């Protein structure tokens, strides 16, 4: 099944060119397992979902390591009917067709709990779109239930779910949302925004009545 991510990176620094290029260098260990295409707007990663998410995590963690405010926006897609299958996408995790929604929710919760921290706190917003799936709202509600039960859940928001915590478990949660919900062989898209070192986390609370 075709799967991949299209992402753009935004370091809030005068040194943004070196930060972006240095972050893209972190893709080097994955290049034998990914198709990577960079243009002036974004970078495309095509491969199995576990490799795509690991590479995306490492790119962002590298960009944020210097302490500057950094944001990443990404669209993830699997099973798109408009894309020809690619052998590089074979393998990796996917939704077993014989697992109930309740079992998949629990599997996802367990996977995030077992994820290895990488030492970089991040905040994220995530939306999942199972396209063309019967009972698609059941799949969305199941994914939301999983996210609420995960250790990185930070609250609901209009059109998305907020996540917060170490980048290891946060990106693990994104992978679980991407692979365990929707039709097993159907099209599913994820809209993702990740932020690190945001100045808003250092802003003092507004005085009462403000």
The CATH number covering residue 134 comes to 3.30.70.930
- Residue 206 included in any domain: no
Long-range contacts of 83-87 (CB under 8 A, 24+ apart): 83/2, 84/2, 85/1, 85/2, 86/2, 86/35, 86/46
Report residue 203 CA to chain centroid gap.
Answer: 26
Per-residue confidence (pLDDT) for residue 28, from 0 to 100: 96
197 vs 123: CA distance, rounded Å: 9
pLDDT truncated to tens, each residue of the chain (210 aa)?
889 999 999 999 999 999 999 999 999 999 999 999 999 999 999 999 999 999 999 999 999 999 999 999 999 999 988 888 889 998 777 777 788 999 999 999 999 999 999 999 999 999 999 987 678 899 999 999 999 999 999 999 999 999 999 999 999 999 999 999 998 888 999 999 999 999 986 655 555 444
- Residue 174 included in any domain: yes
- Residue 207 included in any domain: no
- Residue 204 included in any domain: no
Domain that holds residue 125: 3-198
- Residue 40 included in any domain: yes
Domains in the chain, number: 1
Per-residue confidence (pLDDT) for residue 165, from 0 to 100: 97
- Residue 210 included in any domain: no
* pTM for this predicted structure: 0.92
């Amino acid at each position: 099944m075709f799967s991949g991510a299209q992402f753009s990176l935004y370091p809030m620094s005068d040194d943004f060119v070196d930060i972006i290029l240095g972050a893209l260098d972190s893709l080097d260990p994955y290049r034998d397992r990914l198709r990577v295409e960079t243009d002036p707007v974004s970078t495309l990663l095509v491969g199995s979902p576990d490799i795509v998410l690991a590479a995306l995590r490492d790119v962002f963690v590298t960009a944020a390591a210097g302490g500057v405010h950094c944001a990443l926006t990404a669209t993830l897609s699997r099973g798109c009917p408009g894309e020809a299958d690619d052998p590089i996408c074979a393998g990796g995790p996917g939704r077993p067709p014989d697992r109930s929604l309740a079992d998949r929710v629990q599997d996802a919760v367990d996977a995030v709990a077992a994820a290895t921290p990488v030492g970089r706190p991040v905040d994220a917003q995530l939306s999942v779109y199972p396209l063309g799936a019967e009972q698609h709202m059941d799949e969305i509600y199941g994914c939301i239930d999983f996210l609420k039960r995960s250790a990185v859940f930070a609250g609901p928001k209009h059109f998305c779910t907020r996540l917060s915590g170490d980048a290891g478990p946060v990106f693990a949660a994104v992978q679980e949302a991407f692979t365990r919900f929707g039709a097993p062989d159907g099209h599913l898209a994820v809209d993702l925004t990740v932020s690190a070192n945001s100045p808003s986390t250092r802003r003092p609370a507004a005085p009462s009545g403000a």
